[in-house]
C-alpha cells in the first residue's frame, strides 16, 4: 500500500488512544498535575497562534533545532547538524537517525519535509505560517517540493513526494528566497508550522488536522475542551535520542526513567483566584500562567509552597490602526504615548512585579534601548494642540480590550489608561470590551483603532518584536501600516522595510544591532505602537515542595518533561 493511500485512509489515532482514561487515575504519585488559566484555541499546526496551544504541541513533538534550557541559541534536536551555503539561501540539515513517531513510523527527511509543506499548503488564516514564508523549496535528494513564490504543494504533490525515490533519507535541504539571519531561529520550538508529524497518522494533507502523531516526549491521549489535557510518555525511543541532549541533572534522571513523569495532566482554571486555591489546596503540583501579582506576593510567604520566578521576554503594549481616523494622525498617537503612566500601571495593577517598558524590544534581549519617552503631560497637550484638539474641541476615542485572554487585570489596566489620557483635559476615552475570538477578528479587519495586545516571542531575536506589526503582518496584527493613508506614515513604513529587511541580510551582530536600534527610535517617533510593561508576572510558577525540575528561562518554553516529584 502506498503512503498516499495510507494518508487518505487513516482518520484517527492519537486522541483515540486515551479516551478511556479514568479520572480516578489522576491522583496517583506517578501523575504530574499542572494548573493554568490559559487555554487551547485549536489543535491545528497550521492555524494556531497562542501560547498554550503551542505549548501543547511542544510537549508531543519536536523541531529541527531546539532552545536548550537556559539558552536562547538554536541547538541540535531532530537535526544533528546543519550547514548553510555561502550566499545564505540553501540550508542542509543532517537528520537524527533512530527517531520514531508515537505511531511507530520512522522519522526521516520525507516526513519532516511533508510536515512543513503540509502546513504551508494549509496556511491557516489565524496561524503562524507567515513566519516561514521565505521557504521556496524542500527536498530530500532527489525528490523535492518546489513552487514560486514559496512552497505551495497540493495534497497530491505531498503524497507523491512521500512515494518518490530518495537517496539519503536523513538529509533535508531547505532553500529560501534570500539570506535571512533569523531563519534558523524560526525553525526552533515552539513554532508549530515547523514541527514534525507523522505522514501516516496525521489527518490528510487537505484538511486541518484533528489527529496527529509526533516524536515525543509525550503523546496526547485526552483532551476535554476547557477542562484538561492528559499526556502519556512515549516509548523509550524518545529517551534514546533526546535524553542525552538535556542538561544535568535532567539527563541522568531522564535516562534512568525518573523523568519525564509517565503521565501529565494539565487542568484549565477559570481565573487566577481558582488557580491559587487549587495550588494552596494541593490539587495541582504546579501552577503556571497566570497569578494575580498580589497572590504571588502572598504565596511567597506560604512555607508549604515554592514560588519560582523566571526571566520574561513577554511584553504588553498598545496598538494603533494607522489608516483609521483619528489614529492616522501621528500627533494623536504621540500625545497618547506621552500621556501613559507606566509606573502607575505597574504598581497599582501588578504590585510592582512587572517592569515599565520603553521599547518593544524588551530588556534582556540584545539591541534593546529605551527609545520611548517617559510621561510628560505638557508635551502630550502640545501634540494634541498641533493635531487641532483643545479643551473646547476634545479628542474622543475608544480604547478596546479583551477581558480574560491576558488574565483578569485588563479592566484595571484600561481604567488607569483612561484616567492617564483624560488627565490632559483634552482627551475623552470610552472603554469597550470584546471576547478574544471577536477581538482577533476585529483587529485583523482593521476596525479597532486603539487597543491592547500582548506578545511573547515566536523566536528569540529583536526582529520578532518589530517586524510582525511593522512589515510582516501589519493587517493581521492590526496596525495596517502597509496601508497607511498619511504621507508621514507611508514614509515610516518604507523606512521600517529598509531597516528590518537590511538587518536580516547580514549575520554581523554589530550591523544588525545598529539597524534594530534605529528601528526602535523610529518606532518611538512614529508611535505606531506604545510599549507598556514587561510581563514578569506570567513568568512565575508556584509548586508544591516536592516538585523538582522546573526550568523558567528567557525562551518561556514550559517543558513538562523536565518536571518530576520526589
What structural domains and CATH numbers belong to the chain?
Answer: 315-534 (3.10.105.10)
Interatomic CA distance for residues 464 and 556, integer angstroms: 14
Q: How many residues are there in the chain? A: 566
Cis peptide upstream of residue 217 (ω within 30 degrees of 0): yes
Nearest to 350 by CA among 342, 361, 358: 342
Cis peptide upstream of residue 17 (ω within 30 degrees of 0): no
Interatomic CA distance for residues 158 and 112, integer angstroms: 12
Are the CB atoms for 450 and 337 separated by under 8 Å?
no
Distances in Å between the alpha carbon of 77 and those of 53, 99, 258? 21, 11, 21
User: Tens-digit pLDDT profile for the chain (566 aa)?
Assistant: 333 333 433 333 333 333 333 334 444 578 999 999 998 988 999 999 889 999 999 999 999 999 988 888 999 999 999 999 999 999 999 999 999 999 999 999 999 999 999 999 999 888 899 899 999 999 999 999 986 666 789 999 999 999 999 999 999 999 999 999 999 999 999 999 999 999 999 988 888 877 899 998 899 999 998 899 999 988 666 667 777 777 777 777 776 665 557 899 999 999 999 999 999 999 999 999 989 999 999 999 999 999 999 999 999 999 999 999 999 999 999 999 999 999 999 999 999 999 999 999 999 899 999 999 999 999 999 999 999 999 999 999 999 999 988 888 999 999 999 999 999 999 999 999 999 889 989 999 999 999 999 999 999 999 999 999 999 989 989 999 999 999 999 999 999 999 999 999 999 999 999 999 999 999 999 999 999 999 999 999 999 999 998 999 999 999 998 898 88
Distances in Å between the alpha carbon of 336 and those of 372, 374, 419, 529? 12, 11, 12, 10
What are the two backbone dihedrals, phi and then psi, of residue 29, each rounded to the nearest 5 degrees? -65, -25
Count of C-beta atoms within a 10 Å radius of residue 236: 11
Report residue 53 CA to chain centroid gap: 9
Residues 6+ apart with CB under 8 A from 385: none
Are the CB atoms for 63 and 77 separated by under 8 Å?
yes
Interatomic CA distance for residues 53 and 370, integer angstroms: 32
Q: What's the confidence (pLDDT) of residue 149?
A: 64
Spell out a b/e string for 309-340, using b for 16 or more CB atoms within 10 Å of the CB, else e: ebbbbbbbbbbbbbbbebbbbbbbbbbbbbbb
Q: What's the confidence (pLDDT) of residue 466?
A: 98
Nearest to 49 by CA among 130, 134, 116: 130
pTM of the model: 0.89
How deeply is 32 buried, as exposed, middle or buried, from its count of CB atoms within 10 A (0-12, 13-18, 19+)?
buried
Q: What's the confidence (pLDDT) of residue 9?
A: 35
Cell of 134: 521565505
Cell of 456: 511573547
Q: What is the CA radius of gyration of the chain?
A: 24
Are the CB atoms for 360 and 529 separated by under 8 Å?
yes
Q: To the nearest 10°, the Cα dihedral for 544, 545, 549, 554?
A: 70
Interatomic CA distance for residues 6 and 50, integer angstroms: 31
How deeply is 301 buried, as exposed, middle or buried, from its count of CB atoms within 10 A (0-12, 13-18, 19+)?
exposed
Q: What's the confidence (pLDDT) of residue 150?
A: 67
Inter-helix orientation angle 487-504/509-526, to 10°: 160
Q: What's the confidence (pLDDT) of residue 257?
A: 60
Interatomic CA distance for residues 272 and 284, integer angstroms: 14
Q: What's the confidence (pLDDT) of residue 18?
A: 31
What are the two backbone dihedrals, phi and then psi, of residue 443, each rounded to the nearest 5 degrees? -60, -45
- Angle (CA) 376-381-387 rounded to 5° is 130
Interatomic CA distance for residues 14 and 381, integer angstroms: 59
Amino acid at each position: 500500500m502506498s503512503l498516499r493511500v495510507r494518508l487518505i485512509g487513516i482518520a484517527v489515532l492519537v486522541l483515540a488512544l486515551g479516551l478511556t482514561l479514568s479520572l480516578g487515575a489522576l491522583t496517583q504519585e506517578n501523575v504530574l498535575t499542572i494548573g493554568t488559566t490559559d487555554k487551547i484555541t485549536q489543535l491545528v499546526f497550521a492555524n494556531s497562534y497562542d501560547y498554550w496551544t503551542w505549548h501543547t504541541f511542544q510537549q508531543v513533538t519536536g523541531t529541527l533545532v531546539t532552545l536548550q534550557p537556559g539558552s536562547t541559541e538554536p541547538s541540535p534536536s531532530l537535526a544533528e547538524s546543519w550547514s548553510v551555503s555561502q550566499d545564505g539561501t540553501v540550508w542542509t540539515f543532517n537528520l537524527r537517525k533512530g527517531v520514531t513517531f508515537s505511531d511507530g513510523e520512522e522519522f526521516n527527511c520525507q516526513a519532516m519535509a511533508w510536515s512543513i509543506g503540509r502546513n504551508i499548503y494549509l496556511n491557516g488564516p489565524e496561524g503562524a505560517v507567515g513566519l516561514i514564508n521565505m521557504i521556496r523549496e524542500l527536498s530530500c535528494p532527489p525528490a523535492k517540493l518546489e513552487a514560486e513564490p514559496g512552497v505551495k504543494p497540493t495534497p497530491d504533490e505531498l503524497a507523491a513526494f512521500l512515494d518518490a525515490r530518495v537517496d539519503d533519507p536523513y538529509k533535508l535541504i531547505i532553500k529560501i528566497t534570500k539570506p535571512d539571519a533569523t531563519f534558523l531561529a524560526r525553525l526552533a520550538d515552539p513554532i508549530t508550522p515547523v514541527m514534525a508529524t507523522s505522514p501516516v497518522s496525521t489527518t490528510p494533507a487537505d484538511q486541518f488536522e484533528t489527529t496527529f502523531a509526533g516524536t515525543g516526549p509525550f503523546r496526547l491521549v485526552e483532551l476535554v475542551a476547557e477542562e484538561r489535557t492528559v499526556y502519556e510518555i512515549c516509548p523509550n525511543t524518545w529517551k534514546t535520542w533526546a535524553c542525552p541532549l538535556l542538561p544535568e541533572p535532567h539527563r541522568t534522571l531522564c535516562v534512568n526513567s525518573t523523568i519525564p513523569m509517565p503521565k501529565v495532566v494539565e487542568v484549565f482554571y477559570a481565573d487566577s483566584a481558582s488557580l491559587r486555591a487549587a495550588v494552596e489546596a494541593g490539587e495541582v503540583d504546579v501552577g503556571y500562567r497566570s497569578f494575580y501579582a498580589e497572590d504571588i506576593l502572598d504565596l511567597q510567604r506560604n512555607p508549604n509552597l515554592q514560588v519560582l520566578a523566571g526571566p520574561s521576554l513577554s511584553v504588553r503594549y498598545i496598538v494603533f490602526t494607522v489608516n483609521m481616523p483619528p489614529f492616522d494622525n501621528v500627533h494623536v498617537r504621540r500625545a497618547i504615548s506621552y500621556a501613559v503612566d507606566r509606573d502607575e500601571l505597574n504598581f497599582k495593577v501588578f504590585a510592582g512585579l512587572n517592569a515599565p517598558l520603553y521599547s518593544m524590544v524588551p530588556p534582556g534581549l540584545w539591541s534593546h534601548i529605551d527609545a520611548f519617552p517617559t510621561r510628560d503631560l505638557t508635551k502630550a497637550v502640545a501634540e494634541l494642540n498641533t493635531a487641532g484638539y483643545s479643551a473646547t474641541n476634545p479628542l474622543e476615542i475608544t480604547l478596546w480590550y479583551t477581558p480574560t485572554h491576558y488574565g483578569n487585570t485588563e479592566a484595571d489596566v484600561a481604567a488607569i489608561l483612561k484616567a492617564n489620557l483624560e488627565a490632559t483635559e483634552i482627551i475623552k476615552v470610552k472603554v469597550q470590551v470584546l471576547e478574544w475570538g471577536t477581538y482577533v477578528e476585529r483587529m485583523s479587519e482593521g476596525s479597532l483603532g486603539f487597543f491592547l495586545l500582548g506578545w511573547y516571542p515566536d523566536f528569540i531575536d529583536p526582529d520578532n518584536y518589530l517586524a510582525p506589526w511593522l512589515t510582516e503582518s501589519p493587517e493581521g496584527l492590526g496596525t495596517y501600516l502597509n496601508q497607511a493613508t498619511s504621507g508621514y506614515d507611508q514614509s515610516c513604513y518604507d523606512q521600517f522595510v529598509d531597516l528590518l529587511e537590511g538587518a536580516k541580510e547580514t549575520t554581523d551582530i554589530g550591523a544588525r544591532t545598529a539597524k534594530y536600534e534605529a528601528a526602535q527610535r523610529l518606532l518611538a517617533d512614529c508611535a505606531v505602537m506604545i510599549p507598556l510593561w514587561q510581563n514578569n508576572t506570567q513568568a512565575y510558577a508556584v509548586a508544591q515542595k516536592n516538585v523538582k525540575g522546573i526550568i523558567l528561562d528567557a525562551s518561556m518554553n514550559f517543558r513538562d518533561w523536565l518536571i518530576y516529584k520526589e
